[in-house]
Amino acid sequence: MGEKNHLGEFELIERFFAPLSGEGGFGLKDDAALMKVSPGKALVVTQDAIAEPVHFLPGNPPETIARKALRVNLSDLAAKGAVPTAFSLALGLGDAWREDWLEGFARGLAEDCRTYGLTLSGGDTFRTGGGTVISITAWGEIDPAQYRSRLTARPGDRLFVTGTIGEGALGLLAHTGKLPSLSAGTRDILERRYFVPEPPVSFAPLIAEFASASMDISDGFVGDLEKLATASGFDVEVNVPDIPFSREVREALDSGGVSPDRALESALSGGDDYQILFTVPESRVASFLEKAHKHSETGENTLVTPLAVIRKGSGRVRVLGDNGEPLEFAATSWRHF
Amino acid sequence: MGEKNHLGEFELIERFFAPLSGEGGFGLKDDAALMKVSPGKALVVTQDAIAEPVHFLPGNPPETIARKALRVNLSDLAAKGAVPTAFSLALGLGDAWREDWLEGFARGLAEDCRTYGLTLSGGDTFRTGGGTVISITAWGEIDPAQYRSRLTARPGDRLFVTGTIGEGALGLLAHTGKLPSLSAGTRDILERRYFVPEPPVSFAPLIAEFASASMDISDGFVGDLEKLATASGFDVEVNVPDIPFSREVREALDSGGVSPDRALESALSGGDDYQILFTVPESRVASFLEKAHKHSETGENTLVTPLAVIRKGSGRVRVLGDNGEPLEFAATSWRHF
């Protein structure tokens, strides 16, 4: 404990965060950042925060906390069709903060800056009276005509989802010992997805080009689909056999521990997916799928799964189980409050 | 207590924050915001956070907490020469949050949105394990050639400061009972400035037009002047009789309670000023003062005080007291860590 807290704010920024600064960030030596925007483009801006112990625990690896704090924002941008360029960070440290924690945190951020081609523009370090709080604001450029809100799906459009559903929620169950029969390899994969989500960032240009409406799945597949349906005004039925599950999720659903029904409910409503739910006008589905196929050949391999055709309505979502009966959920998404 | 916490996140946003949304904010119904930028302009972005109980206490009026959380960001933008246009908010609520607190908080934000012509673009509400945390990211447009960093002052430039110094720090002393001999009227004025700072937002265009370097004073006049001097590479001597103090600060300095020396040290190093320290090339001082004078005739009345001419150097700041002797400070600014 003799090692902790001897760095001042200036040294802390200089040592851990200034190396992540880029153009317009002035080496984090200034009060603000200057963000140029290409002619004809606008910025998409999002701000999401995570806090200890609600979203992570003191013992979690700081690298993964940093990457998750950043990636939950990249997920929002991808769902809007925007490729991220920079972010700012307000980092609130509790009294128990330690340099080695901060070092791991900065290392995780640096890794993702390289992965996604991002720079840190600035922000704030401050003390909290309690646990660590991480608030990130991220942005990216977009042709404003290609911004994809969740308000603009039209009846007859086809509903799609990227990637696979349920790893995050089942990863949390596995991490907290609620899926004891899982093989170690499967548990590792699910937990890793819970700690470090993999939003389909490189898929953003296809959302921009083809989607009629789009949002990211963060609070739960069913609940977020309800939000999309409510915002755009449609009804939809989704069959569970059409929902993309990974091999690991299928193993978890069958593994015992919690009942298969409860595990399925978690996978569909527990959140932490960070995939994209979006609609494509029927007339453009063929060309969309062709481009999506080409995109996956680049090695990015974003799975795209059609789920249903949406109907005029008012936000009603029915999820039909293997037997064709509608599933009942205690809650369709994770509630923040 | 039966009243508390029965709102969900959706209702909470809908009721308290959606009314503050503007163009590109989609009524806070979307995952992100779309921020258009005028041709030829860039964005200046800043993110500052405040946390309970470090920056405010549970009993403080929520209206003032909201306004301070916003204004500390506006202060950064003004110092860069930018007029603010919008902001996003990550609001972390502890378990003890109450609707009436949130109502006051939103009312304070709404008031400042009107005062400064701002809209809320989006953000996040989340739970913390401890106290309330407020992280705001604010931005404004600027001609990129007019962005004023703290790195670019040149020897021979004249150092200025806006407004008056010390109200915030002495307001906190008064609020915590350390200036018992103060008259009630003076105490009220100083406390109000501590709770709701008044950054010279409307002065930003003059900073953009005339300053060679600029920063806001948030952590303490002397410490922040040292930061400006270090960033730009200059030395400077400032005489205490040249530093602008309000009538209320002068009364506090003479009022007893803490010793006059300690009160002066607080005023000059305690922070919470949210004024602007900036330099103007000597050749432009006359036209700057003429425009500043005209600006103050509009009713905005931003006081501008010349302090010294800066010399080539390495960040050394000397503050000379009434008797011409250099003052010694235990700490030249508030330390965050």
- Identify the CATH number of the domain in which residue A195 sits: 3.90.650.10
- Chain B residue with the nearest C-alpha to that of A12: B337
- Is there a contact between B314 and B232 (Cβ–Cβ < 8 Å)? no
Under an 8 A CB cutoff, do A129 and B128 touch?
no
Q: How far is residue A95 from each of residues A92, A107, B304, B331, measured CA to CA in Å? A: 10, 21, 39, 21
Contacts of A133 in chain B (CB under 8 A): 49, 51, 92, 128, 133, 135
Contacts of B125 in chain A (CB under 8 A): 336-337
- A154 Cβ contact list (under 8 Å, min separation 6): A212, A232, A234, A279, A281
pLDDT score for B131: 93
Report the distance separating Cα B252 and Cα B204, nearest Å: 30
Candidate from B1-15, B83-97, B194-208 with smallest mean pLDDT:
B1-15
- Is there a contact between A102 and A96 (Cβ–Cβ < 8 Å)? no
Per DSSP, what are the bridge partners of residue B319? Answer: B238
- Does B195 share its domain with B226? yes
- Does A192 share its domain with A140? no
- Is there a contact between A292 and A278 (Cβ–Cβ < 8 Å)? no
pLDDT beyond 50 at B183? yes
User: In 3D, which of B156, B329, B162, B304 has the Cα closest to residue B234?
Assistant: B156
Residue range of the domain that includes B246? 158-320
Q: How far is residue B132 from each of residues A54, A109, A122, B50, measured CA to CA in Å? A: 13, 25, 22, 9
pLDDT score for A4: 41
Residue A2 in any domain: the answer is no
Bond prior to A61 in cis (omega within 30° of 0) = no
Contacts of B5 in chain A (CB under 8 A): 337
Under an 8 A CB cutoff, do A9 and B55 touch?
no
pLDDT score for B300: 64
Residue A216 in any domain: the answer is yes
pLDDT score for B125: 93
- A4 Cβ contact list (under 8 Å, min separation 6): A96, A97, A98, A99
| Amino acid type, A226 | E
Under an 8 A CB cutoff, do B129 and A52 touch?
yes
Under an 8 A CB cutoff, do B47 and A124 touch?
yes
Highest mean pLDDT among B18-27, B167-176, B260-269: B167-176
How large a percentage of chain B has pLDDT more than 70?
Answer: 95
Residue with tokens 């949406």: A310
Helices (H), chain B: 9-12, 62-80, 99-116, 167-175, 184-195, 204-210, 221-232, 247-254, 260-269, 285-295
Domain C-terminal end among A120, A145, A170: A145
Number of domains in chain B: 2
Under an 8 A CB cutoff, do A7 and B92 touch?
no
Per DSSP, what are the bridge partners of residue A34? Answer: B44
- Is there a contact between A133 and B51 (Cβ–Cβ < 8 Å)? yes
pLDDT beyond 60 at B188? yes
pLDDT score for A183: 94
- Give the pair of three-digit tokens for residue A290: 């062709």
pLDDT score for A3: 37
- Is there a contact between B233 and B298 (Cβ–Cβ < 8 Å)? no
Under an 8 A CB cutoff, do B144 and A37 touch?
no
pLDDT score for A337: 63
Report the distance separating Cα A175 and Cα A173, nearest Å: 5
Residues found in chain B: 337
pLDDT score for A331: 83
Contacts of B89 in chain A (CB under 8 A): 47
**Burial A22-58, CB ≥16 within 10 A → b, else e:** bebbbebbbbbbbbebeeebbbbbbbbbbbbebbbee
- Does A178 share its domain with A135? no
- Give the pair of three-digit tokens for residue A54: 């609600």
DSSP string over B94-133: -TT--HHHHHHHHHHHHHHHHHHT-EEEEEEEEE-SSS-E
Per DSSP, what are the bridge partners of residue A46? Answer: A138
| Amino acid type, A33 | A
Q: How far is residue A136 from each of residues A118, A191, B41, measured CA to CA in Å? A: 13, 23, 24
- Give the pair of three-digit tokens for residue B46: 């800043």
- Give the pair of three-digit tokens for residue A33: 């950042």
- A111 Cβ contact list (under 8 Å, min separation 6): A63, A67
- Does B70 share its domain with B128? yes
Domain C-terminal end among A145, A170, A191: A145
- Chain A residue with the nearest C-alpha to that of B75: A31
Query: What are the two backbone dihedrals, phi and then psi, of residue A288, each rounded to the nearest 5 degrees?
Result: -60, -50
Report the distance separating Cα A315 and Cα B218, nearest Å: 48
Confidence grade of residue B31 (pLDDT, cut at 50, 70, 90): confident
CA angle B165, B245, B304 (to 5 degrees): 75
How far the first Cα of chain B sits from its last, in Å, is 35
- Chain A residue with the nearest C-alpha to that of B88: A47
pLDDT score for B298: 65
- Is there a contact between A241 and A164 (Cβ–Cβ < 8 Å)? no
- Give the pair of three-digit tokens for residue A13: 């920024």
- Does B137 share its domain with B168? no
- Does B167 share its domain with B314? yes
Bond prior to B58 in cis (omega within 30° of 0) = no
pLDDT score for A226: 97
pLDDT tens per residue, range B238-290: 999 999 999 999 999 988 677 878 899 999 999 999 999 999 999 999 999 99
Contacts of A42 in chain B (CB under 8 A): 24, 34-37
Contacts of B140 in chain A (CB under 8 A): none
- Does A214 share its domain with A296? yes
- Does B135 share its domain with B184? no
Report the distance separating Cα A203 and Cα A211, nearest Å: 11
The number of beta carbons lying within 10 Å of the beta carbon of residue B57 is 12
Contacts of A131 in chain B (CB under 8 A): 128-130
Confidence grade of residue B23 (pLDDT, cut at 50, 70, 90): confident
**Burial B86-121, CB ≥16 within 10 A → b, else e:** bbbbbbbbbeebeeebbebbbebbbebbeebebebb
User: In 3D, which of A248, A121, A237 has the Cα closest to residue A193?
Assistant: A248
- Is there a contact between B240 and B322 (Cβ–Cβ < 8 Å)? yes
pLDDT score for A260: 78
Say which of A127, A215, A336 has its CB closest to residue B31.
A215
Strand, helix or coil for residue B165? coil
CA distance A45 to chain B (A): 5
Q: How far is residue B17 from each of residues A36, B25, B56, B98, B104, measured CA to CA in Å? A: 29, 11, 21, 15, 12
Say which of A26, A31, A127 has its CB closest to residue B336.
A127
Site from B12, B91, B124 to mutate, A interface, most A CB atoms within 10 angstroms: B124
Contacts of B276 in chain A (CB under 8 A): none
β-pairing, A234-239 vs A304-309, is unpaired
Contacts of A151 in chain B (CB under 8 A): 26, 29-30
Contacts of B37 in chain A (CB under 8 A): 37, 42-43
Say which of B93, B142, B150 has its CB closest to residue A30.
B150
pLDDT score for A1: 30
Residue with tokens 């040292």: B226
- Does B142 share its domain with B199? no
pLDDT score for A277: 98
Helices (H), chain A: 9-12, 62-80, 99-116, 167-175, 184-195, 204-210, 221-232, 247-254, 260-269, 285-295
Report the distance separating Cα A36 and Cα B108, nearest Å: 31
Q: What is the CA radius of gyration of chain A?
A: 21
> Any idea of the CA torsion for A4, A9, A15, A20, to the nearest 10 degrees?
130
Per DSSP, what are the bridge partners of residue A127? Answer: A93
More confident call, A29 vs B200: B200
CATH number at residue B23: 3.30.1330.10
Site from B47, B98, B216 to mutate, A interface, most A CB atoms within 10 angstroms: B47
pLDDT score for B1: 30
Residue B90 in any domain: the answer is yes
- Does A172 share its domain with A91? no
Domain C-terminal end among B124, B146, B168: B146
Residue B111 in any domain: the answer is yes
User: In 3D, which of B155, B184, B192 has the Cα closest to residue B281?
Assistant: B155
Residue with tokens 């003429």: B290
- Does A257 share its domain with A310? yes
**What mean pLDDT value characterizes chain B?**
92
What is the number of CB-based contacts under 8 A between chain A and chain B?
235
Residue with tokens 């003191």: A58
Residue A335 in any domain: the answer is no
* Residues in chain A where the model's pLDDT stays below 70: 1-6, 256, 297-300, 335-337
Average pLDDT over residues B43-70: 95
Q: For A242, which DSSP code?
A: G
- Does A174 share its domain with A307? yes
Residue A333 in any domain: the answer is no
Say which of A9, A126, A129 has its CB closest to residue B130.
A129
- Is there a contact between A194 and A175 (Cβ–Cβ < 8 Å)? yes
pLDDT score for B258: 75
Under an 8 A CB cutoff, do B54 and A128 touch?
yes
Q: Does residue A270 come out as left (phi exceeding 0), alpha (psi in the -120 to 50 range) or beta? A: alpha
Report the distance separating Cα B145 and Cα B142, nearest Å: 8
CA count, 13 A, side-chain hemisphere, A133: 34
| Amino acid type, A194 | Y
Residues found in chain A: 337
More confident call, A45 vs B31: A45
Residue A302 in any domain: the answer is yes
Site from A77, A89, A124 to mutate, B interface, most B CB atoms within 10 angstroms: A124
Residue A14 in any domain: the answer is yes
pTM of the model: 0.93
- Is there a contact between A93 and A127 (Cβ–Cβ < 8 Å)? yes
Say which of B89, B126, B337 has its CB closest to residue A336.
B126
pLDDT score for B4: 41
pLDDT beyond 80 at B328? yes
